[in-house]
Amino acid sequence: MVRPLEQSALIDTYRRSRGGVPSAWYGHVPFGNWLTTTTRPRVVVELGTHNGVSFSSFCDAVAAHDIPATCFAIDTWLGDPQAGVYGEEVWADWSRFSAEHYGQFARLLRGTFDEALPEFADGSIDLLHIDGLHTYDAVKHDFDSWLPKMSPRGVIIMHDIAERHDDFGVWQLWEEIQATHPTFAFEHEHGLGVVAAGPEAPSSVQALVTADANETTEWRARFAAAGERIQLEELANQLHTKVATLEGKVTDREAQLADAHASTSWRVTSPLRAASRALSRLRSR
């Protein structure tokens, strides 16, 4: 049996996790890396990339372990009602970062998920991450549309399976998938579901979806702890950045006050000096 974290599958350098970008996926970065390392996919597809934290967890594994994979990130990079609408700066920053670090094997497809479907043959995708709009209708459409694209080794992961507020509906679809496919669920960081979509899913995924109660507890605890470390490191990075920004503002403010003090001092002392000189002249007469 493949046991969690025993294969040195985790790496120390998560490039995007040091970038200070916001993400609800930091807690799953070690698992994304481990899953990619142990399954060695040939084609990786992500539906919904935003700032690229999850996609980078796959790409970092590809780069670190010389996995012969091509990784596709599909997004409009415009946002949605749940993630929020954002400006062109997100696309500019992420596309630059991806080209710099993953340009040899990563492809960014800017458009809707449906527009990208014809780019992939049925049975061609080994690892699929679904993380787009999380209403029930939207995520069910994504799952049903992309399921035929999965290879016999295919594995699907889905984020936010534990979110039940507002119009989030991944949890509802997840309950349906559990009745039709072998699955495993992580409960931390909004929940992450793992689906053995193909009949020949890799042994590491088979170990997950066939785990007994004790093994399930171990998998969850170890990856939750590994993810928490990444979250804390990223929080420390963000706090360090904020402190540096505040220190810069304080320095600028001190310089402004010093300039103001010097200017005020000149305006006060200059007339006094003039008066003193005039009085001296009168006394000398």
Tens of pLDDT, residue by residue over 203-229, are 999 999 999 999 999 999 999 998 888
Mean pLDDT of 257-281: 64
pLDDT at position 7: 45
Of 9-18, 157-166, 168-177, the range with the lowest mean pLDDT is 9-18
Cβ atoms of 30 and 228 closer than 8 Å = no
Q: Whole-angstrom Cα distance, residue 158 to residue 214?
A: 23
DSSP string, 99-113: HHHHTTTEEEEES-H
| pLDDT top residue among 164 and 197 | 197
Task: Identify the CA nearest to 50 among candidates 86, 103, 102.
Answer: 86
Question: Does 6 have pLDDT greater than 90?
Answer: no
pLDDT at position 178: 96
pLDDT > 90 fraction of the chain, expressed in percent and rounded: 61
Cβ atoms of 54 and 83 closer than 8 Å = no
The domains located in the chain, with CATH, are 15-227 (3.40.50.150)
| pLDDT top residue among 262 and 166 | 166
Task: Provide the mean pLDDT of the chain.
Answer: 85
Q: Whole-angstrom Cα distance, residue 160 to residue 9?
A: 24
pLDDT in tens, 55-108: 999 999 999 999 999 999 999 998 766 666 677 898 999 999 999 999 999 999
Helix, strand, or coil here: 191?
coil
Cβ atoms of 105 and 59 closer than 8 Å = yes
Reported pTM:
0.79
Question: Does 264 have pLDDT greater than 80?
Answer: no
DSSP-assigned beta bridge partners for residue 127: 44, 155
pLDDT > 70 fraction of the chain, expressed in percent and rounded: 76
pLDDT band at 54 (very low <50, low <70, confident <90, very high): very high
pLDDT at position 247: 61
